[in-house]
Amino acid sequence: MKEVNKDIIKQLRVNERIRTKEVRLVGEKGEQLGIMPLYQALETARKHNLDLVEVAATATPPVCRLLDYGKYKYEQAKKEREARKSQRVPLLREVRLRPKIGDHDFEAKARTARKLLDRGDKVKVTILFRGREITHPEIGLKLLQKMVESLNEIASLERQPSLDGKRMSIILSPGVIQKAKK
């Protein structure tokens, strides 16, 4: 939270920290008060018990606004906290299967994948081959296709099945890509 306040303070100059001769002054409610010398703008701010804050330093002349700087900093920090709270980074989660998995176990794994997709995470479905099972990759491919079909209403296939050593995997992402059926 302290870092947010430091960023705001670094970006905006307030009252005596403003280093120009003339400023374009904007009032509390957004009304234009015109271009005036800095000392006159500071007097106006003191008269209204407000701070003079430089909001657009690159403009000619710089734009300054009359506002309560402490309240402004608090509201900006609050907005940043809310924005951070609503952000969620989708993770890549993995569900592992074996080629000789039973139907009930497969359904349990599909339910797990469905929960992960509902939370907004991407799911990597991996088939692990042991020993001579790798001689029948078509079994793994059928399992992956079955998984895609069981989750097709809530997920879309992001990466096609690929064989990497003794692992075959796909990646499913939440949300369905709408396809034109005509």
User: Does 179 fall in a domain?
Assistant: no
pLDDT (tens, 9 = 90+) of the chain, 182 residues, equals 455 555 554 578 888 888 888 999 998 888 888 899 988 989 988 998 998 988 888 888 889 999 988 888 898 889 888 888 877 777 899 999 999 999 999 999 999 999 999 988 999 999 999 999 999 999 999 999 999 999 999 999 999 999 999 999 999 999 865 443 33
User: Does 99 fall in a domain?
Assistant: yes
The contacts of residue 155 (CB under 8 Å, 6+ apart) are 113, 117, 123, 148, 172, 173, 174, 175, 176
Which CATH number is 144's domain given?
3.30.110.10
Are 125 and 146 within one domain? Answer: yes
Final residue in a domain of this structure, among 62, 86, 110: 86
User: Looking at residue 94, what is its pLDDT?
Assistant: 95
Are 72 and 97 within one domain? Answer: no
Q: How many domains does the chain have?
A: 2
User: Looking at residue 110, what is its pLDDT?
Assistant: 95
Residues spanned by the domain of 42: 2-86
Q: 3-state class of 122 per DSSP?
A: strand
User: Looking at residue 18, what is its pLDDT?
Assistant: 85
Are 132 and 81 within one domain? Answer: no
Is 151:172 a contact under the CB 8 Å cutoff? Answer: yes
The torsion angles phi and psi of 52, rounded to 5 degrees, stand at -100, 115
What's the CA gap between 13 and 129, in Å, rounded? Answer: 64
Are 135 and 67 within one domain? Answer: no
User: Looking at residue 176, what is its pLDDT?
Assistant: 66
User: Does 181 fall in a domain?
Assistant: no
β-bridge partners, 173: 156
User: Does 180 fall in a domain?
Assistant: no
Distance, first Cα to last Cα, the chain: 53
Final residue in a domain of this structure, among 58, 86, 114: 86
Are 80 and 96 within one domain? Answer: no
- pTM (2 d.p.): 0.54
